[in-house]
Structure 1
Amino acid sequence: MIDPWIWIGLFVLIAYTIEAITGFGSLVIALSLGALLLPVPELLPVLVPLNVLMSGFLAWRNRQHLDRALLLKVILPLMLGGTLVGYLLQNGLADQVLKLLLGLLIIWFACRELWRLRCSTPARAHPAWLNRLLILAAGISHGLFASGGPLLVYAMAGTALDKFRLRATLLCVWFTLNTSLSVLLLVQDRLASARPQLLWFLPLLVVGVVVGEYLHPRVNEQRFRQTVYALLAVTGVLLAVQSV
Protein backbone atom coordinates (compact mmCIF):
# COMPACT_ATOMS: atom_id res chain seq x y z
CA MET A 1 0.00 0.00 0.00
CA ILE A 2 1.06 3.61 -0.59
CA ASP A 3 2.34 5.39 2.50
CA PRO A 4 -0.52 7.65 3.74
CA TRP A 5 1.95 10.51 4.17
CA ILE A 6 2.47 10.63 0.41
CA TRP A 7 -1.25 11.36 0.07
CA ILE A 8 -1.02 13.90 2.90
CA GLY A 9 1.77 15.63 0.97
CA LEU A 10 -0.51 15.84 -2.07
CA PHE A 11 -3.28 17.27 0.12
CA VAL A 12 -0.88 19.89 1.51
CA LEU A 13 0.10 20.92 -2.02
CA ILE A 14 -3.57 21.17 -3.06
CA ALA A 15 -4.54 23.05 0.12
CA TYR A 16 -1.85 25.72 -0.15
CA THR A 17 -2.47 26.15 -3.87
CA ILE A 18 -6.15 26.79 -3.08
CA GLU A 19 -5.23 29.20 -0.29
CA ALA A 20 -2.99 31.18 -2.66
CA ILE A 21 -5.85 31.37 -5.19
CA THR A 22 -8.73 32.16 -2.85
CA GLY A 23 -7.07 33.36 0.37
CA PHE A 24 -8.68 30.83 2.68
CA GLY A 25 -8.73 27.34 4.06
CA SER A 26 -5.31 25.67 3.75
CA LEU A 27 -5.49 24.05 7.19
CA VAL A 28 -9.18 23.11 6.98
CA ILE A 29 -8.73 21.53 3.55
CA ALA A 30 -5.53 19.64 4.37
CA LEU A 31 -6.88 18.41 7.71
CA SER A 32 -10.28 17.31 6.44
CA LEU A 33 -8.73 15.36 3.53
CA GLY A 34 -5.92 14.01 5.70
CA ALA A 35 -8.34 12.83 8.39
CA LEU A 36 -9.77 10.35 5.87
CA LEU A 37 -6.45 8.48 6.11
CA LEU A 38 -4.87 9.23 9.51
CA PRO A 39 -6.06 10.17 13.04
CA VAL A 40 -6.53 13.89 13.64
CA PRO A 41 -4.00 14.02 16.56
CA GLU A 42 -1.36 12.50 14.25
CA LEU A 43 -1.91 15.18 11.60
CA LEU A 44 -1.81 18.25 13.86
CA PRO A 45 1.97 18.19 14.63
CA VAL A 46 2.63 18.43 10.88
CA LEU A 47 -0.10 20.72 9.62
CA VAL A 48 -0.12 23.28 12.46
CA PRO A 49 3.58 24.33 12.20
CA LEU A 50 3.25 24.55 8.41
CA ASN A 51 0.37 26.95 8.84
CA VAL A 52 2.41 29.05 11.28
CA LEU A 53 4.88 29.75 8.49
CA MET A 54 2.18 30.63 5.97
CA SER A 55 0.01 32.76 8.27
CA GLY A 56 3.06 34.48 9.79
CA PHE A 57 4.36 35.52 6.38
CA LEU A 58 0.95 36.79 5.24
CA ALA A 59 0.21 38.51 8.56
CA TRP A 60 3.48 40.45 8.31
CA ARG A 61 2.71 41.48 4.72
CA ASN A 62 -0.76 42.75 5.72
CA ARG A 63 0.13 44.21 9.13
CA GLN A 64 -0.84 47.77 8.11
CA HIS A 65 -4.51 46.73 7.92
CA LEU A 66 -4.63 45.05 11.35
CA ASP A 67 -7.45 46.04 13.74
CA ARG A 68 -5.45 45.82 16.99
CA ALA A 69 -8.31 46.75 19.33
CA LEU A 70 -10.59 44.01 17.99
CA LEU A 71 -7.74 41.49 17.98
CA LEU A 72 -6.43 42.15 21.50
CA LYS A 73 -9.62 43.02 23.37
CA VAL A 74 -12.17 40.65 21.85
CA ILE A 75 -10.92 37.88 19.58
CA LEU A 76 -7.67 36.67 21.14
CA PRO A 77 -8.83 36.43 24.79
CA LEU A 78 -11.85 34.32 23.81
CA MET A 79 -10.04 32.31 21.14
CA LEU A 80 -7.03 31.51 23.32
CA GLY A 81 -9.26 30.40 26.19
CA GLY A 82 -11.38 28.29 23.86
CA THR A 83 -8.32 26.80 22.16
CA LEU A 84 -6.93 25.62 25.50
CA VAL A 85 -10.27 24.02 26.38
CA GLY A 86 -10.48 22.32 22.98
CA TYR A 87 -6.89 21.08 23.19
CA LEU A 88 -7.56 19.51 26.59
CA LEU A 89 -10.80 17.95 25.31
CA GLN A 90 -8.96 16.51 22.30
CA ASN A 91 -6.89 14.25 24.57
CA GLY A 92 -10.04 12.72 26.05
CA LEU A 93 -11.98 12.11 22.82
CA ALA A 94 -11.66 9.05 20.61
CA ASP A 95 -10.47 9.61 17.06
CA GLN A 96 -13.84 8.48 15.69
CA VAL A 97 -15.59 11.17 17.72
CA LEU A 98 -13.09 13.79 16.51
CA LYS A 99 -13.69 12.72 12.90
CA LEU A 100 -17.46 12.92 13.34
CA LEU A 101 -17.29 16.41 14.88
CA LEU A 102 -14.86 17.60 12.20
CA GLY A 103 -17.05 16.12 9.47
CA LEU A 104 -20.17 17.87 10.80
CA LEU A 105 -18.29 21.18 11.07
CA ILE A 106 -17.02 20.87 7.49
CA ILE A 107 -20.48 19.96 6.15
CA TRP A 108 -22.07 22.97 7.88
CA PHE A 109 -19.37 25.35 6.68
CA ALA A 110 -19.32 24.10 3.07
CA CYS A 111 -23.11 24.03 2.68
CA ARG A 112 -23.45 27.48 4.24
CA GLU A 113 -20.88 28.96 1.83
CA LEU A 114 -22.43 27.21 -1.18
CA TRP A 115 -25.82 28.65 -0.21
CA ARG A 116 -24.35 32.14 0.18
CA LEU A 117 -22.67 31.93 -3.23
CA ARG A 118 -25.88 30.69 -4.84
CA CYS A 119 -28.21 33.24 -3.27
CA SER A 120 -25.77 36.15 -2.79
CA THR A 121 -27.25 36.71 0.67
CA PRO A 122 -25.71 39.65 2.57
CA ALA A 123 -24.02 38.91 5.88
CA ARG A 124 -25.84 40.09 9.00
CA ALA A 125 -24.23 41.19 12.25
CA HIS A 126 -24.89 39.04 15.33
CA PRO A 127 -25.88 40.34 18.77
CA ALA A 128 -22.80 41.02 20.93
CA TRP A 129 -23.46 38.07 23.27
CA LEU A 130 -23.88 35.62 20.38
CA ASN A 131 -20.81 37.01 18.66
CA ARG A 132 -18.66 36.33 21.74
CA LEU A 133 -20.16 32.87 22.19
CA LEU A 134 -19.34 32.03 18.57
CA ILE A 135 -15.76 33.28 18.99
CA LEU A 136 -15.35 31.09 22.10
CA ALA A 137 -16.78 28.12 20.18
CA ALA A 138 -14.35 28.88 17.34
CA GLY A 139 -11.50 28.69 19.85
CA ILE A 140 -12.71 25.31 21.11
CA SER A 141 -12.94 24.09 17.52
CA HIS A 142 -9.42 25.34 16.91
CA GLY A 143 -8.12 23.47 19.94
CA LEU A 144 -9.78 20.27 18.76
CA PHE A 145 -8.89 20.38 15.05
CA ALA A 146 -6.82 23.56 14.49
CA SER A 147 -9.86 24.59 12.41
CA GLY A 148 -11.57 27.50 14.10
CA GLY A 149 -11.88 29.41 10.84
CA PRO A 150 -15.43 28.44 9.83
CA LEU A 151 -16.96 29.53 13.15
CA LEU A 152 -14.79 32.64 13.51
CA VAL A 153 -15.58 33.85 10.00
CA TYR A 154 -19.27 33.27 10.78
CA ALA A 155 -18.89 35.25 14.02
CA MET A 156 -17.29 38.12 12.13
CA ALA A 157 -20.03 38.20 9.47
CA GLY A 158 -21.69 41.57 9.21
CA THR A 159 -19.02 43.47 11.13
CA ALA A 160 -17.91 46.94 10.08
CA LEU A 161 -14.48 45.68 9.04
CA ASP A 162 -13.60 45.96 5.37
CA LYS A 163 -12.15 42.87 3.72
CA PHE A 164 -8.54 44.05 4.10
CA ARG A 165 -8.80 44.69 7.85
CA LEU A 166 -10.74 41.47 8.39
CA ARG A 167 -8.21 39.37 6.48
CA ALA A 168 -5.21 40.94 8.25
CA THR A 169 -6.84 40.50 11.67
CA LEU A 170 -7.76 36.86 11.01
CA LEU A 171 -4.24 36.11 9.77
CA CYS A 172 -2.84 37.40 13.07
CA VAL A 173 -5.35 35.22 14.93
CA TRP A 174 -4.20 32.07 13.08
CA PHE A 175 -0.55 32.94 13.53
CA THR A 176 -0.99 33.49 17.28
CA LEU A 177 -3.17 30.43 17.89
CA ASN A 178 -1.16 28.04 15.75
CA THR A 179 2.08 29.24 17.33
CA SER A 180 0.50 28.56 20.73
CA LEU A 181 -0.64 25.10 19.58
CA SER A 182 2.86 24.39 18.24
CA VAL A 183 4.33 25.26 21.66
CA LEU A 184 1.86 22.88 23.34
CA LEU A 185 2.77 20.14 20.86
CA LEU A 186 6.45 20.81 21.51
CA VAL A 187 6.00 20.61 25.29
CA GLN A 188 4.18 17.29 24.85
CA ASP A 189 7.04 16.08 22.63
CA ARG A 190 4.68 15.51 19.69
CA LEU A 191 6.71 17.57 17.20
CA ALA A 192 9.82 15.38 17.19
CA SER A 193 8.13 12.50 15.36
CA ALA A 194 6.68 14.93 12.81
CA ARG A 195 10.05 16.46 11.85
CA PRO A 196 10.64 14.27 8.73
CA GLN A 197 7.23 15.14 7.28
CA LEU A 198 7.69 18.83 8.07
CA LEU A 199 10.99 18.93 6.20
CA TRP A 200 9.52 17.12 3.20
CA PHE A 201 6.37 19.26 3.09
CA LEU A 202 8.04 22.67 3.36
CA PRO A 203 8.92 22.76 -0.36
CA LEU A 204 5.34 21.72 -1.17
CA LEU A 205 4.08 24.79 0.69
CA VAL A 206 6.31 27.01 -1.46
CA VAL A 207 5.28 25.24 -4.68
CA GLY A 208 1.60 25.55 -3.73
CA VAL A 209 1.93 29.30 -3.17
CA VAL A 210 3.80 29.83 -6.46
CA VAL A 211 1.31 27.75 -8.46
CA GLY A 212 -1.62 29.45 -6.73
CA GLU A 213 -0.24 32.91 -7.48
CA TYR A 214 0.12 31.89 -11.12
CA LEU A 215 -3.43 30.52 -11.34
CA HIS A 216 -5.10 33.29 -9.32
CA PRO A 217 -5.68 35.73 -12.23
CA ARG A 218 -6.46 32.88 -14.64
CA VAL A 219 -9.40 31.17 -12.93
CA ASN A 220 -12.97 32.24 -12.25
CA GLU A 221 -12.75 32.61 -8.47
CA GLN A 222 -16.46 32.19 -7.78
CA ARG A 223 -16.69 28.95 -9.74
CA PHE A 224 -13.45 27.76 -8.17
CA ARG A 225 -14.83 28.48 -4.68
CA GLN A 226 -17.98 26.53 -5.54
CA THR A 227 -15.85 23.56 -6.56
CA VAL A 228 -13.76 23.75 -3.37
CA TYR A 229 -16.83 24.01 -1.10
CA ALA A 230 -18.46 21.08 -2.91
CA LEU A 231 -15.27 19.06 -2.36
CA LEU A 232 -15.30 20.00 1.32
CA ALA A 233 -18.96 19.01 1.67
CA VAL A 234 -18.27 15.57 0.18
CA THR A 235 -15.20 15.22 2.41
CA GLY A 236 -17.25 16.14 5.48
CA VAL A 237 -19.85 13.50 4.61
CA LEU A 238 -17.12 10.88 4.12
CA LEU A 239 -15.59 11.78 7.50
CA ALA A 240 -18.95 11.54 9.25
CA VAL A 241 -19.77 8.20 7.59
CA GLN A 242 -16.28 6.85 8.30
CA SER A 243 -16.67 7.66 12.01
CA VAL A 244 -19.91 5.69 12.44
Structure 2
Amino acid sequence: MTAAPYALGAFILLAYTLEAITGFGSVVIALSLGALLLPIEQLLPILVPLNVCMTGYLVQRHRRLIDRRLLLGNILPGMLAGTLLGYCLLPYLNAQLLKTAFGALILCFAGRELWRLRRTYRQTQRPTWATRLITLCAGVSHGLFASGGPLLVYGLAGTELDKARLRATLISVWFTLNSLLTLAFLCDGRLLPALPQVLSYAPLLPLGVWLGEQLHRRVDERHFRIAIHFLLLVTGLLLLAPWRLP
Protein backbone atom coordinates (compact mmCIF):
# COMPACT_ATOMS: atom_id res chain seq x y z
CA MET A 1 0.00 0.00 0.00
CA THR A 2 2.86 2.38 0.81
CA ALA A 3 4.33 1.77 -2.66
CA ALA A 4 1.19 3.09 -4.41
CA PRO A 5 2.20 6.80 -4.40
CA TYR A 6 5.58 5.92 -5.91
CA ALA A 7 3.98 3.71 -8.56
CA LEU A 8 1.57 6.51 -9.46
CA GLY A 9 4.53 8.88 -9.72
CA ALA A 10 6.24 6.49 -12.15
CA PHE A 11 3.06 6.29 -14.25
CA ILE A 12 2.79 10.09 -14.28
CA LEU A 13 6.42 10.51 -15.37
CA LEU A 14 5.99 7.98 -18.18
CA ALA A 15 2.71 9.49 -19.36
CA TYR A 16 3.86 13.10 -19.35
CA THR A 17 7.10 12.21 -21.09
CA LEU A 18 5.03 10.62 -23.86
CA GLU A 19 2.89 13.75 -24.16
CA ALA A 20 5.98 15.92 -24.44
CA ILE A 21 7.07 13.70 -27.35
CA THR A 22 3.78 13.35 -29.23
CA GLY A 23 1.48 16.13 -27.99
CA PHE A 24 -1.14 13.88 -26.43
CA GLY A 25 -1.63 10.80 -24.27
CA SER A 26 -0.61 11.92 -20.79
CA VAL A 27 -3.97 11.75 -19.05
CA VAL A 28 -5.30 8.62 -20.76
CA ILE A 29 -2.09 6.64 -20.13
CA ALA A 30 -1.73 7.81 -16.53
CA LEU A 31 -5.45 7.30 -15.95
CA SER A 32 -5.43 3.77 -17.35
CA LEU A 33 -2.39 2.73 -15.30
CA GLY A 34 -3.43 4.69 -12.24
CA ALA A 35 -6.80 2.92 -12.19
CA LEU A 36 -4.90 -0.02 -10.70
CA LEU A 37 -4.26 2.12 -7.63
CA LEU A 38 -7.02 4.71 -7.22
CA PRO A 39 -10.60 5.33 -8.34
CA ILE A 40 -10.84 7.33 -11.56
CA GLU A 41 -12.82 10.17 -9.94
CA GLN A 42 -9.88 10.68 -7.56
CA LEU A 43 -7.28 10.53 -10.33
CA LEU A 44 -8.80 13.12 -12.67
CA PRO A 45 -8.47 16.12 -10.28
CA ILE A 46 -4.78 15.19 -9.90
CA LEU A 47 -3.89 14.48 -13.53
CA VAL A 48 -5.80 17.29 -15.23
CA PRO A 49 -4.21 20.21 -13.29
CA LEU A 50 -0.78 18.61 -13.79
CA ASN A 51 -1.50 18.52 -17.52
CA VAL A 52 -2.42 22.22 -17.45
CA CYS A 53 0.95 23.05 -15.87
CA MET A 54 2.92 21.07 -18.45
CA THR A 55 0.97 22.10 -21.53
CA GLY A 56 0.97 25.74 -20.42
CA TYR A 57 4.77 25.71 -20.45
CA LEU A 58 4.95 23.91 -23.81
CA VAL A 59 2.35 26.20 -25.42
CA GLN A 60 4.40 29.23 -24.39
CA ARG A 61 7.62 27.65 -25.65
CA HIS A 62 6.25 26.46 -29.01
CA ARG A 63 3.55 29.08 -29.62
CA ARG A 64 4.96 30.04 -33.04
CA LEU A 65 4.39 26.49 -34.31
CA ILE A 66 0.67 26.39 -33.46
CA ASP A 67 -1.62 26.23 -36.53
CA ARG A 68 -4.11 28.82 -35.28
CA ARG A 69 -6.40 28.54 -38.28
CA LEU A 70 -6.82 24.80 -37.75
CA LEU A 71 -7.06 25.23 -33.96
CA LEU A 72 -9.67 27.99 -33.90
CA GLY A 73 -11.58 27.09 -37.03
CA ASN A 74 -11.79 23.30 -36.95
CA ILE A 75 -10.65 21.83 -33.62
CA LEU A 76 -11.72 23.96 -30.67
CA PRO A 77 -15.40 24.56 -31.58
CA GLY A 78 -16.17 20.83 -31.78
CA MET A 79 -13.91 19.90 -28.87
CA LEU A 80 -15.43 22.55 -26.59
CA ALA A 81 -18.99 21.52 -27.43
CA GLY A 82 -18.19 17.83 -27.02
CA THR A 83 -16.32 18.35 -23.74
CA LEU A 84 -19.26 20.24 -22.26
CA LEU A 85 -21.65 17.51 -23.40
CA GLY A 86 -19.46 14.73 -22.02
CA TYR A 87 -18.99 16.47 -18.66
CA CYS A 88 -22.75 16.96 -18.31
CA LEU A 89 -23.57 13.36 -19.33
CA LEU A 90 -21.00 11.66 -17.09
CA PRO A 91 -23.22 11.36 -13.96
CA TYR A 92 -25.90 9.58 -15.99
CA LEU A 93 -23.78 7.05 -17.92
CA ASN A 94 -22.24 3.69 -17.06
CA ALA A 95 -18.53 4.43 -16.75
CA GLN A 96 -17.35 0.83 -17.21
CA LEU A 97 -19.35 0.39 -20.41
CA LEU A 98 -18.04 3.70 -21.76
CA LYS A 99 -14.46 2.78 -20.91
CA THR A 100 -14.77 -0.54 -22.73
CA ALA A 101 -16.42 1.03 -25.79
CA PHE A 102 -13.77 3.76 -25.90
CA GLY A 103 -10.95 1.22 -25.73
CA ALA A 104 -12.49 -0.87 -28.53
CA LEU A 105 -12.89 2.21 -30.72
CA ILE A 106 -9.27 3.25 -30.22
CA LEU A 107 -8.04 -0.27 -31.02
CA CYS A 108 -9.97 -0.26 -34.30
CA PHE A 109 -8.65 3.15 -35.30
CA ALA A 110 -5.04 2.46 -34.29
CA GLY A 111 -4.94 -0.98 -35.89
CA ARG A 112 -6.32 0.40 -39.16
CA GLU A 113 -3.83 3.28 -39.30
CA LEU A 114 -0.84 1.09 -38.42
CA TRP A 115 -1.83 -1.32 -41.19
CA ARG A 116 -2.01 1.56 -43.66
CA LEU A 117 1.35 2.94 -42.53
CA ARG A 118 2.87 -0.51 -42.96
CA ARG A 119 1.74 -0.60 -46.59
CA THR A 120 2.19 3.02 -47.55
CA TYR A 121 2.90 6.35 -45.89
CA ARG A 122 0.28 8.30 -47.88
CA GLN A 123 -2.81 9.40 -45.96
CA THR A 124 -5.99 10.62 -47.63
CA GLN A 125 -7.78 13.80 -46.60
CA ARG A 126 -11.17 13.21 -44.98
CA PRO A 127 -14.29 15.21 -45.85
CA THR A 128 -14.71 18.25 -43.59
CA TRP A 129 -17.95 16.92 -42.08
CA ALA A 130 -16.24 13.65 -41.08
CA THR A 131 -13.36 15.46 -39.38
CA ARG A 132 -15.79 17.68 -37.48
CA LEU A 133 -17.88 14.70 -36.35
CA ILE A 134 -14.78 12.87 -35.09
CA THR A 135 -13.66 16.07 -33.35
CA LEU A 136 -17.02 16.36 -31.59
CA CYS A 137 -16.75 12.73 -30.44
CA ALA A 138 -13.21 13.43 -29.22
CA GLY A 139 -14.61 16.31 -27.18
CA VAL A 140 -17.25 14.06 -25.62
CA SER A 141 -14.51 11.57 -24.72
CA HIS A 142 -12.51 14.39 -23.18
CA GLY A 143 -15.47 15.52 -21.09
CA LEU A 144 -15.99 11.96 -19.85
CA PHE A 145 -12.38 10.87 -19.26
CA ALA A 146 -10.18 13.93 -20.00
CA SER A 147 -8.87 11.66 -22.78
CA GLY A 148 -9.86 13.01 -26.16
CA GLY A 149 -6.39 12.72 -27.68
CA PRO A 150 -6.67 9.36 -29.46
CA LEU A 151 -9.85 10.29 -31.33
CA LEU A 152 -8.61 13.78 -32.16
CA VAL A 153 -5.34 12.41 -33.56
CA TYR A 154 -7.37 10.01 -35.68
CA GLY A 155 -9.57 12.88 -36.85
CA LEU A 156 -6.53 14.89 -37.90
CA ALA A 157 -4.97 12.04 -39.90
CA GLY A 158 -4.28 13.22 -43.41
CA THR A 159 -3.51 16.81 -42.46
CA GLU A 160 -0.34 18.36 -43.81
CA LEU A 161 1.06 19.28 -40.39
CA ASP A 162 4.60 18.13 -39.66
CA LYS A 163 5.37 16.54 -36.29
CA ALA A 164 6.40 19.81 -34.59
CA ARG A 165 3.31 21.76 -35.70
CA LEU A 166 1.00 18.84 -34.93
CA ARG A 167 2.41 18.50 -31.43
CA ALA A 168 2.21 22.25 -30.73
CA THR A 169 -1.39 22.43 -31.96
CA LEU A 170 -2.49 19.40 -29.93
CA ILE A 171 -0.85 20.73 -26.78
CA SER A 172 -2.72 24.03 -27.13
CA VAL A 173 -6.00 22.07 -27.33
CA TRP A 174 -5.29 20.23 -24.07
CA PHE A 175 -4.18 23.42 -22.32
CA THR A 176 -7.48 25.10 -23.22
CA LEU A 177 -9.79 22.19 -22.42
CA ASN A 178 -8.03 21.05 -19.26
CA SER A 179 -7.96 24.59 -17.91
CA LEU A 180 -11.75 24.58 -18.23
CA LEU A 181 -11.99 21.13 -16.63
CA THR A 182 -9.81 22.30 -13.74
CA LEU A 183 -12.21 25.19 -13.16
CA ALA A 184 -15.09 22.70 -13.26
CA PHE A 185 -13.33 20.53 -10.65
CA LEU A 186 -12.88 23.64 -8.50
CA CYS A 187 -16.57 24.45 -8.77
CA ASP A 188 -17.79 20.92 -8.03
CA GLY A 189 -15.46 20.57 -5.01
CA ARG A 190 -13.04 17.94 -6.35
CA LEU A 191 -9.96 20.12 -6.88
CA LEU A 192 -9.10 21.40 -3.39
CA PRO A 193 -8.83 17.94 -1.73
CA ALA A 194 -6.48 16.85 -4.55
CA LEU A 195 -4.14 19.86 -4.38
CA PRO A 196 -1.61 18.27 -1.96
CA GLN A 197 -1.11 15.37 -4.39
CA VAL A 198 -0.93 17.74 -7.38
CA LEU A 199 1.85 19.68 -5.64
CA SER A 200 3.70 16.51 -4.61
CA TYR A 201 3.81 15.19 -8.20
CA ALA A 202 4.50 18.57 -9.87
CA PRO A 203 8.33 18.20 -9.65
CA LEU A 204 8.07 15.26 -12.07
CA LEU A 205 6.83 17.57 -14.85
CA PRO A 206 10.15 19.29 -15.67
CA LEU A 207 11.86 15.90 -15.93
CA GLY A 208 9.11 14.55 -18.19
CA VAL A 209 9.26 17.64 -20.41
CA TRP A 210 13.05 17.45 -20.70
CA LEU A 211 12.99 13.75 -21.59
CA GLY A 212 10.16 14.27 -24.07
CA GLU A 213 11.87 17.21 -25.79
CA GLN A 214 15.09 15.23 -26.18
CA LEU A 215 13.29 12.23 -27.67
CA HIS A 216 11.04 14.39 -29.90
CA ARG A 217 14.06 15.84 -31.70
CA ARG A 218 15.54 12.40 -32.32
CA VAL A 219 12.50 10.76 -33.93
CA ASP A 220 12.02 11.17 -37.69
CA GLU A 221 8.67 11.94 -39.36
CA ARG A 222 7.63 8.43 -40.36
CA HIS A 223 8.68 6.90 -37.06
CA PHE A 224 6.78 9.67 -35.30
CA ARG A 225 3.56 8.75 -37.12
CA ILE A 226 4.06 5.08 -36.32
CA ALA A 227 4.78 5.91 -32.67
CA ILE A 228 1.57 7.93 -32.39
CA HIS A 229 -0.62 5.08 -33.63
CA PHE A 230 1.28 2.51 -31.61
CA LEU A 231 0.56 4.66 -28.57
CA LEU A 232 -3.11 4.60 -29.56
CA LEU A 233 -2.97 0.81 -29.76
CA VAL A 234 -1.45 0.54 -26.28
CA THR A 235 -4.01 3.00 -24.96
CA GLY A 236 -6.87 0.92 -26.32
CA LEU A 237 -5.48 -2.23 -24.71
CA LEU A 238 -5.13 -0.43 -21.38
CA LEU A 239 -8.71 0.77 -21.53
CA LEU A 240 -9.97 -2.72 -22.35
CA ALA A 241 -8.01 -4.31 -19.49
CA PRO A 242 -10.34 -5.86 -16.90
CA TRP A 243 -9.76 -3.25 -14.21
CA ARG A 244 -12.88 -2.31 -12.35
CA LEU A 245 -14.01 1.26 -12.23
CA PRO A 246 -15.58 2.22 -8.92
TM-score grouping bracket, smaller chain normalisation? 0.7 to 0.9
Tell me the alpha carbon deviations over residues 174-204 of structure 1, each in whole angstroms, 9 at most, x when there is no partner.
Answer: 1111101111111111101111210111012
Q: How does 1:113-192 map to 2 (within 5 A)?
A: 114-192=114-192
Q: What's 1:26 paired with?
A: 26
Q: CA deviation at 1:98?
A: 4.0
Q: CA deviation at 1:66?
A: 2.2
Q: What's 1:11 paired with?
A: 11
Separation in structure 1 between the aligned mates of residue 98 and residue 6 of structure 2, nearest angstrom: 23
Separation in structure 1 between the aligned mates of residue 216 and residue 67 of structure 2, nearest angstrom: 26
Contact 1:35 1:99 in 2 (8 A): no
Cα-Cα RMSD: 2.9
Q: Which runs of 5+ in 1 are unaligned?
A: none
Alignment length (residue pairs): 242
Contact 1:32 1:102 in 2 (8 A): no
Q: How does 1:50-69 map to 2 (within 5 A)?
A: 50-69=50-69
Contact 2:23 2:171 in 1 (8 A): no
Tell me the alpha carbon deviations over residues 14-55 of structure 1, each in whole angstroms, 9 at most, x when there is no partner.
Answer: 112333445542222112212343332221111111111111
Closer/same/farther in 2, CA of residues 3 and 150 from structure 1, 3 Å limit: same
Counting aligned pairs with the same residue, the percent is 55
Q: CA deviation at 1:212?
A: 3.9
Q: What's 1:242 paired with?
A: 243
* Segment drifting more, 26-35 vs 183-192: 26-35
Q: CA deviation at 1:165?
A: 3.1
Closer/same/farther in 2, CA of residues 108 and 78 from structure 1, 3 Å limit: same
Separation in structure 1 between the aligned mates of residue 162 and residue 212 of structure 2, nearest angstrom: 24
Closer/same/farther in 2, CA of residues 236 and 60 from structure 1, 3 Å limit: same
Q: What's 1:232 paired with?
A: 235
Contact 1:45 1:191 in 2 (8 A): yes
Which residue identity is paired with 2:243? Q
Separation in structure 2 between the aligned mates of residue 243 and residue 109 of structure 1, nearest angstrom: 24
Query: SS of 1:99's equivalent?
Result: helix
Q: What's 1:199 paired with?
A: 199
Separation in structure 1 between the aligned mates of residue 54 and residue 109 of structure 2, nearest angstrom: 22
Q: TM-score, normalised by structure 1?
A: 0.84
Query: SS of 1:242's equivalent?
Result: coil
Which residue identity is paired with 1:92? Y
Separation in structure 2 between the aligned mates of residue 109 and residue 34 of structure 1, nearest angstrom: 24
Contact 2:87 2:143 in 1 (8 A): yes
Separation in structure 2 between the aligned mates of residue 212 and residue 168 of structure 1, nearest angstrom: 13
Q: Which runs of 5+ in 2 are unaligned?
A: none
Q: CA deviation at 1:163?
A: 3.5
